[in-house]
């Protein structure tokens, strides 16, 4: 059974709505072509999918699937004018479609699964002959902040990574994706650096760097005995002050990995 941190619904809907292909999956752009049929697995609210829809154009289309109901409901409302975007509430391990796809994309999803190779085998099943898979994901172990954030948040972050590892999630999945692609039987494997670097003064700097207070809003790690509620609240309080007063930059390490049938 895969696990996901239970974040506050509205909070994460807003976070995902702020994403775009151009800022959050830019390495994918060169392989998108008009007329393509694309499947976006774990599309969130469909914010990145709607930008893919614009590139594949009216001759192409994109289907986004996600197993979180409120993300799909929100996306259906927000992007209802995008005619070649279809959003479906479904789990990737249960979803099927008689029509096959030229490209299956999945951004920041496999990091949450304890069976990423099985997911990739599923992705293969959705492909047309000659189709491609693209996965974008993190190495959470290499996240860096300048200057260092408060000790309370460093502690929270270390606990978060331990909680994830205990649930079978790979904290450096970006590095292992090429091996997983090969295990799933995908060929022509290519790796692209896709780090996210946020610098003070840029648009959305505060909201991007504040992602960790949003993660800490969840009480799940408290309920599971990983951290005290006081320590969690202290991490949020100290980190929010740091974000607004001291933060200069944050780098999240990601890789995009592609493979084909």
Q: Which residues bind ligand SAM (CB under 6 A)?
A: 2, 4, 16, 19, 24, 42-44, 48, 65-68, 71, 91-93, 107-109, 112
**Nearest approach, Cβ of 143 to ligand SAM (angstroms)?**
15
**Nearest approach, Cβ of 151 to ligand SAM (angstroms)?**
26
215: burial class by Cβ within 10 Å (0-12, 13-18, 19+)? buried
Cβ closest to ligand SAM, residue 108 vs residue 232: 108
Question: What's the chain look like in SS3?
Answer: CCCCCCCCHHHHHHHHHCCCHHHHCHHHHHHCCCCCEEEEECCCCCHHHHHHHHHHCCCCEEEEEECCHHHHHHHHHHCCCCCCEEEEECCCCCCCCCCCEEEEEEECCHHHCCCHHHHHHHHHHCEEEEEEEEEEEEEEEEEEEECCCCHHHHHHHHHHHHHHHHCCCCCCHHHHHHHHHHHCCCEEEEEEECCEEEECCCCCHHHHHCHHHHHHCCCHHHHCCCCCHHHHHHHHHHHHHHHHHCCCEEEEEEEEEEEEC
Cβ closest to ligand SAM, residue 4 vs residue 73: 4
Both tokens of 69, joined, read 């109901």
Cβ closest to ligand SAM, residue 12 vs residue 132: 12
**Nearest approach, Cβ of 241 to ligand SAM (angstroms)?**
26
**Nearest approach, Cβ of 183 to ligand SAM (angstroms)?**
19
Cβ closest to ligand SAM, residue 112 vs residue 212: 112
**Nearest approach, Cβ of 245 to ligand SAM (angstroms)?**
28
* Number of other residues whose CB lies within 10 A of the CB of residue 248: 13
Q: Longest Cα pair distance anywhere in the chain, in angstroms?
A: 54
Both tokens of 4, joined, read 């996901």
**Nearest approach, Cβ of 150 to ligand SAM (angstroms)?**
24
Which residue, judged by CB position, is nearest to ligand SAM in the bound state? 42
Cβ closest to ligand SAM, residue 152 vs residue 171: 171
Cβ closest to ligand SAM, residue 207 vs residue 233: 207
**Nearest approach, Cβ of 101 to ligand SAM (angstroms)?**
15
Cβ closest to ligand SAM, residue 19 vs residue 234: 19
């Amino acid at each position: 059974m895969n696990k996901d941190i239970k974040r506050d619904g509205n909070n994460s809907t807003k976070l995902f709505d702020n994403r775009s292909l151009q800022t959050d999956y830019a390495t994918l752009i060169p392989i998108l072509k008009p007329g393509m049929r694309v499947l976006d697995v774990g599309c969130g609210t469909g914010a990145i999918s709607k930008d893919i829809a614009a590139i594949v154009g009216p001759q192409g289309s994109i289907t986004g699937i996600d197993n979180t109901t409120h993300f799909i409901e929100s996306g259906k409302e927000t992007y209802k004018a995008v005619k070649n975007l279809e959003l479906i509430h479904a789990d990737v391990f249960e979803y099927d479609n008689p029509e096959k796809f030229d490209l299956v994309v999945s951004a920041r999803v496999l990091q949450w699964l304890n069976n990423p190779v099985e997911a990739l085998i599923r992705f293969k099943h959705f492909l047309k002959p000659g189709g491609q898979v693209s996965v974008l994901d993190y190495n959470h172990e290499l996240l860096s902040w300048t200057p260092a954030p408060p000790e309370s948040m460093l502690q929270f972050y270390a606990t978060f990574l331990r909680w994830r590892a205990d649930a079978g999630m790979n904290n450096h999945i970006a590095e292992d994706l090429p091996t997983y692609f090969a295990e799933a039987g995908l060929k022509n494997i290519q790796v692209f650096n896709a780090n996210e670097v946020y610098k003070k003064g840029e648009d959305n700097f505060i909201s991007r760097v504040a992602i960790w207070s949003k993660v800490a809003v969840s009480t799940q790690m408290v309920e599971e005995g990983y951290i005290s509620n006081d320590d969690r609240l202290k991490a949020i309080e100290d980190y929010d002050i740091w974000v607004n007063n001291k933060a200069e930059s944050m780098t999240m390490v990601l890789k995009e990995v592609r493979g084909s049938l």
